[in-house]
């Protein structure tokens, strides 16, 4: 492709950024990265009554969080004089007229054909009405008119947007022509549907991007999933980073058919990204997330958080899972869950005391030595290893399941393990 390419993402700050709009931003960003094009952020805030700073800030923060940085930003609310100037040109050339205080565009109808980079040739043989308001009676521009003027003046060469904008395209082509503007190339992305094939709802994906962040999704996992809602690498891989995706991306490879949103698939992709993160990176990510939830105790050491993260990384779908699963690694005020009662029915306090004494004498508290001592105590007591594993796990975590017991002990450290074994012994003795 030639130099000087430009694409744009044009959100309206009348609501938060959602999955569909985020995917549109992503595909524009990928196109820009692939072809060394400029990625423009254009804020379509012409609706002065409904546009709010709260929405604008969330949109921009969400794009940054997703890693979709823009090269330039423009605000339509600051360009009203331009739109009126070009509307006046149409009036002067008898291509528009004033009606009831508004300026309307009079279509000189012709069959409209254009080549969609995703869908191929699209033809319109008629338009829904004979005229189109360009400037409303209050002096503000309509969507289609401001869109055409901005795309031309900002040098937008490729318009990549959702397929719901296809009906707007013939009207906009006629406006481009009437103003003598060069017509950009169009690419209309497929719709994103609910798992049942219907319209997206809050239950199925129509959630603000900031909520996905709050729920514990990684930005690289969310962009990875958005990629797959319309495009995928040709080698059938599903886990891919943005940098590699940009090198492989071709807008012509985007699917024509609608994509179904699947929360289960998103969870799986997120879990894969968590598994693949180095301990340090995951630790930093968790620190930011947990501090935003006021979860981390003060003075939690970086190395300890990384060790706990490594312990649980294969068991997490989302960062939020860490709070419930790893609670016992940071706090002692947990109770033995009701389903553990059958495990604790058998009093093994004598054997647990011996285990505690053996652990107390260890100079090195690593998992291999811990396991060796643990198995020796079980063997000497005539127990199967699992007979001792289950109650000790309950003592350490309050639950029946979790990461490897010996790895967990190593991470918790000797002092904490001994204190919890004593708590288990006291439980049995007081129960008796």
Q: Report, as residue numbers or ranges, the catalytic residues.
A: 202
Q: Which residue has the tokens 């409303």?
A: 136
The token pair that represents 300 in the structure block: 């939690």
Q: Are 99 and 110 in contact (CB under 8 A)?
A: no
Q: Are 26 and 65 in contact (CB under 8 A)?
A: no
Q: Name the strand (E) or helix (H) holding 73.
A: strand 72-75
The token pair that represents 339 in the structure block: 């389903």
> What is the Cα–Cα distance from 21 to 374, expressed in whole angstroms?
55
> What is the Cα–Cα distance from 259 to 231, expressed in whole angstroms?
10
Q: Which residues contact 382 (CB under 8 A, 6 or more apart)?
A: none
Q: Are 11 and 74 in contact (CB under 8 A)?
A: no
Rg (CA), the chain: 30
> What is the Cα–Cα distance from 425 to 353, expressed in whole angstroms?
7
> What is the Cα–Cα distance from 267 to 289, expressed in whole angstroms?
17
The conformation of residue 297, written as its DSSP 8-state character, comes to P
């Amino acid at each position: 492709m030639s130099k000087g390419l430009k694409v744009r993402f044009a959100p309206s700050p009348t609501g938060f950024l959602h999955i569909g709009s985020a995917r549109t931003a992503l595909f524009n960003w990928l196109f820009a990265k692939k072809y060394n094009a400029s990625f423009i952020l254009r804020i379509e805030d012409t609706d002065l009554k409904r546009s709010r700073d709260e929405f604008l800030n969330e949109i921009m923060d969400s794009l940054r969080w997703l890693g979709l940085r823009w090269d330039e930003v423009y605000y339509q609310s600051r360009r009203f004089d331009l739109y009126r100037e070009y509307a006046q040109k149409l009036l002067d050339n008898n291509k528009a007229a004033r009606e009831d205080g508004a300026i309307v565009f009079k279509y000189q109808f012709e069959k409209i054909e254009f080549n969609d980079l995703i869908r191929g040739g699209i033809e319109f043989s008629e338009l829904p009405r004979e005229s189109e308001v360009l400037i409303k009676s209050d002096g503000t521009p309509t969507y289609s008119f401001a869109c055409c003027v901005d795309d031309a003046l900002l040098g937008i060469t490729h318009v990549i947007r959702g397929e719901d904008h296809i009906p707007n395209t013939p009207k906009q082509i006629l406006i481009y022509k009437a103003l003598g503007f060069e017509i950009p190339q169009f690419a209309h992305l497929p719709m994103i549907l609910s798992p049942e094939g219907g319209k997206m709802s809050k239950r199925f994906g129509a959630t603000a991007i900031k909520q996905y962040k709050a729920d514990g999704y990684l930005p690289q996992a969310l962009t990875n999933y958005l990629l797959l809602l319309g495009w995928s690498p040709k080698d059938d891989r599903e886990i891919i980073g943005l940098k590699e995706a940009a090198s492989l991306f071709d807008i012509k490879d985007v699917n024509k058919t609608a994509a179904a949103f699947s929360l289960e698939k998103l969870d799986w992709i997120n879990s894969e990204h968590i598994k693949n993160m180095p301990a340090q990176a995951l630790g930093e990510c968790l620190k930011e997330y947990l501090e935003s939830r006021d979860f981390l105790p003060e003075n939690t050491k970086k190395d300890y958080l990384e060790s706990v993260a490594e312990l649980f990384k294969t068991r997490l779908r989302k960062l939020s899972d860490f709070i419930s699963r790893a609670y016992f690694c940071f706090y002692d005020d947990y109770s033995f869950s009701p389903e553990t009662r059958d495990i604790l029915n058998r009093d093994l306090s004598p054997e647990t005391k011996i285990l505690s004494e053996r652990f107390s004498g260890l100079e090195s508290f690593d998992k291999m030595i811990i396991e060796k001592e643990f198995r020796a105590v079980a063997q000497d007591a005539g127990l199967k290893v699992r007979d001792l594993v289950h109650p000790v796990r309950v003592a350490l975590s309050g639950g029946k399941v979790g990461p490897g017991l010996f790895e967990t002990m190593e991470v918790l450290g000797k002092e904490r393990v001994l204190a919890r074994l004593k708590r288990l012994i006291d439980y049995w003795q007081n129960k008796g």
